[in-house]
């Protein structure tokens, strides 16, 4: 009887440990980069840059993702000869994403941004057209956001993120009063509140879209002693004891009609186990559990 009880206890402990480990893997953070939004509405005043910066901040504050720093993204885009706005194609955005090692690239455009006065009705006014003395003023911010899968170059989601706010006491905020980086004052205006709503909806869209994207790491360097370095590290939830499979990507298959990548043949070449964190959590060191001849650029996945 004692032996049976002991076996049950051991079995329960193993199951519990397995559940905890799988939960750790489920909480791995995926990586995302945000390209400056295009000002499709033609309002100027760096509206596209401002809203994309607000989105970057909101994504970081959500603590759900690893968000690539703006400087790193801009450098890669410059090296690829690309513009800095959402006007880039899904294929070129995917190329940038692959170079950065992110699973998702966010592009988009600001299609509406401004206010209108209920007293006179009509379409959205230009930002310089704020007037005083009316009973009610409303603001509207609309971002057409697109999520690009960096593995295929496909747009997996394209949605509108809309924000609206109104007030009977006018803000008296003109172009000079817009400050995307000063949330203490900007977020108190009706235009700031509308912008914040559209940005928060963008975060929700990205969160939903990321659920269907496979988490992926990459081998940085393979050593002759049976160890290697991979990214990411603890900053993305990777910790010592975690095991991953390593894949060797084959030749990319391109659709001759659309130019979109259809993926590539991949070969599972081995298994690794993380042993320590390096580079402040941006990377980690692992030992080879099976396989050989690992190379820089090999893909690291959960299964």
What is the per-residue DSSP string for 202-250? HHHHHHHHHTTSPP-EEEEEE-TTSEEEEE--GGGT--TT-EEEEEEEE
110 contact partners, CB below 8 Å, separation of at least 6:
37, 38, 39, 40, 41, 43, 47, 48, 51, 141, 142, 143, 144
How far, in Å, are 48, 51, 87, 279, 293 from residue 144 at the CA level?
Answer: 11, 12, 12, 36, 44
Q: Tell me the whole-structure pTM to 2 decimals.
A: 0.77
Q: Retrieve residue 196's tokens.
A: 């914040």
Q: Retrieve residue 211's tokens.
A: 């659920």
Q: What is the pLDDT of residue 46?
A: 83
CA-based nearest residue to 148, from 108, 198, 112, 110: 108
> Does residue 184 have a pLDDT over 80?
no
Q: What is the pLDDT of residue 20?
A: 42
pLDDT tens-place string over residues 163-173 = 999 887 655 55
Give the pLDDT band (50/70/90) at residue 240. Answer: very high
Query: Which domains are present in the chain?
Result: 30-210 (3.40.50.10610), 217-301 (2.40.10.410)
Q: What is the pLDDT of residue 9?
A: 52
pLDDT tens-place string over residues 83-129 = 655 557 777 888 888 888 889 999 999 999 988 776 544 445 555 45
Classify residue 27 by its DSSP letter: T
Residue 142: half-sphere exposure toward Cβ, Cα within 13 Å: 11
pLDDT tens-place string over residues 11-37 = 544 444 444 444 467 789 999 999 989
Neighbours of 92 (CB within 10 A): 20
pLDDT tens-place string over residues 66-86 = 999 888 888 888 887 776 555
How far, in Å, are 57, 61, 300 from residue 233 at the CA level?
Answer: 21, 19, 12
Q: What is the pLDDT of residue 157?
A: 94
Q: What is the pLDDT of residue 153?
A: 82
Instruction: Please state at what angle helix 90-100 crosses helix 70-79, rounded to 10 degrees.
Output: 120
């Amino acid at each position: 009887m004692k032996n049976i009880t002991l076996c049950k206890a051991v079995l329960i402990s193993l199951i519990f440990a397995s559940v905890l480990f799988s939960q750790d893997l489920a909480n791995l953070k995926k990586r995302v980069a945000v390209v400056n939004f295009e000002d499709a509405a033609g309002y100027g005043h760096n509206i596209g840059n401002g809203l994309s910066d607000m989105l970057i901040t909101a994504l970081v504050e959500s603590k759900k993702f690893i968000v690539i720093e703006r400087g790193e993204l801009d450098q890669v885009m410059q090296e690829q000869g690309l513009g800095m706005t959402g006007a880039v194609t899904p294929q070129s955005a995917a190329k940038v994403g692959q170079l950065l090692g992110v699973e998702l690239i966010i592009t988009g455009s600001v299609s509406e941004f401004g206010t209108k006065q209920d007293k006179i009705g009509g379409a959205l006014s230009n930002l310089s057209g704020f007037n005083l003395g009316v009973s009610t003023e409303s603001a509207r911010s609309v971002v057409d956001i697109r999520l690009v899968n960096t593995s295929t170059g496909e747009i997996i989601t394209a949605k509108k993120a809309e924000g609206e706010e109104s007030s009977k006491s006018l803000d008296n905020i003109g172009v000079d009063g817009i400050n995307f980086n000063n949330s203490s004052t900007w977020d108190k205006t009706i235009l700031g509140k509308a912008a914040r709503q559209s940005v928060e909806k963008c975060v929700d869209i990205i969160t939903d879209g990321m659920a269907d994207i496979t988490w992926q790491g990459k081998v940085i360097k393979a050593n002759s002693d049976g160890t290697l370095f991979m990214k990411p590290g603890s900053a993305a939830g990777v910790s010592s004891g975690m095991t991953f499979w390593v894949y060797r990507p084959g030749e990319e298959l391109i659709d001759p009609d659309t130019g979109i990548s259809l993926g590539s043949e991949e070969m599972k070449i081995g298994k690794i186990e993380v042993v320590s964190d390096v580079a402040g959590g941006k990377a980690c060191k692992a030992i080879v559990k099976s396989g050989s001849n690992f190379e820089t650029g090999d893909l690291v996945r959960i299964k």
